[in-house]
Amino acid sequence: MMNKIFGTLIAVCVSLAGFVADPAPAFQAGDDVDVVFEAGADMPVVESGGSRKVTIRALVRPSGRRARNRAPLAVALVLDKSGSMSSDGKMENAKKGALEALRMLGAGDAAAVVVYDNRATVLVRAREVGHGSGEPEFYRAIQRLHPGGSTALYDGVTRGAVELQSFADEGFIPRIVLLSDGIANVGPSSAGDLAALGRSLSRQDITITTIGLGLDYNEDLMTALAAASGGNAYFARHAGMLPEIFARDMEDALDITARKVRVTLRCPDGVRPLRIVGREGKQDGDTLEAFIDNVYGGEKYALFEVELPEKEAGYVLHAADLELEYADAATGALVRKQASVSVSYTEDPSEAEKSRNGDIVSQAVIARNAEIREEAVRLADEGKAGDAAKLLEQRGKEIQAIAPMAGAAAPQLAREAESFEGLAESLFSRGTFSTMERKAVINDAYMQKNQQAPVSGDVEGEEPESGDVQ
């Protein structure tokens, strides 16, 4: 049963890429060579006769007409070389992943290699690469790595940040890629400590991607660090996934179009902003501000839930004004764009139903699912496994009811429903999440909120049992 449940979790994670869909052409704002900004409602037409809740999506995507020049990347690879990295091919696959990431860099990019066990050591000082990572210094330094010692994770991150600071001041995009397979046990080691470090580095424009390997790393700590800095977070169930994860993250980093992305929604009188769905942000009166951080590759979006007032049929309501603000990744220039959303009222329920935007519906479901996953983990951690199981079970039923409204995304939502039902069954029978399940649930939630592309994980070898602790 555990293998089945975990298999479902992975299938769901892989399916998330399918939620990225072509946006509806309505409500389009202007675009430039870098970024297109669009906004629309999940129900552009609503029934008259009472107040209505709608979800408004602000979508940001590369235009496809981007200039060839990009900002140079400065990456610090911060690799765990503690004693636990000696087993199950961990170190060899970490080397493969690091070298693959470095090979993807171009002339003008910069790199550093930092390793940590009892303390952090800089193997290669940050410097510009000439022709990618085939340079002997990088190759020799990584190939010579041998595991041993404890896990000074905090020191590793800070040393990586020091290597990047001068490059951040010179217009490079700085990024730390952190690999760990164990619990931080030297230096500051709480989730709060690492979140504070992530926030501090974010103020220096340094993002941190975290890669948790196996079943012994602290998923709360690693997720907090990634979230606080606006980076990606990955759960590598086994070492064979590392080369793909390193390559995937480097693709993202090399494709950053916009940084420090913020979307602000303002509602006119009569429209009540309720909340931001699935993202961090803040509310000030009739204004909601969502934080997206970086835009790379495909689209990113923010979802806002608002309540519309009662109006008669035929009325066209100006529902919201939206503003996008970001720093152009290549030039650093501050860019602002505007969009607006209007909603029409009708007496005909079928007309309202036909207007439903299945893409926005499915994305809102996924964002809410991430919140439910986080809440279920919190309840289970508090010893309320029964409450967590009921929450998951109920959400599975809700998804099943919503799925037919999601158009092409209906099969993906059906798999989401199956995942929630499987997790609920596990909690009812076991009274807790297994080690594997907890890590998968937390990582799935983060990836969904971050709209992060999944990795396949399709490698040879047996997956560990979901209850195993290694």
Domain ranges of the chain: 2-18+359-450, 26-67+257-347, 73-254
pLDDT for res 306: 97
Cβ pair 268, 229 in contact under 8 A: no
pLDDT for res 28: 34
Q: pLDDT tens digit string along 153-171? A: 999 999 999 999 989 888 8
pLDDT for res 68: 53
| 26-67+257-347 against 73-254: fold identical | no
Residues in the chain with pLDDT < 70?
Answer: 1-33, 64-68, 130-134, 457-470
The reply to whether CATH 3.40.50.300 applies to domain 73-254 is no
pLDDT for res 16: 35
Q: How far apart are CA 162 and CA 166, in angstroms?
A: 8
Token output for 20: 């990225």
Cβ pair 283, 265 in contact under 8 A: no
pLDDT for res 407: 81
Q: How far apart are CA 236 and CA 60, in angstroms?
A: 29
pLDDT for res 57: 98
pLDDT for res 382: 97
C-alpha to C-alpha distances, 220 to 98, 192, 194, 226, nearest whole angstrom = 24, 9, 10, 10
CATH annotation of 26-67+257-347? 2.60.40.3670
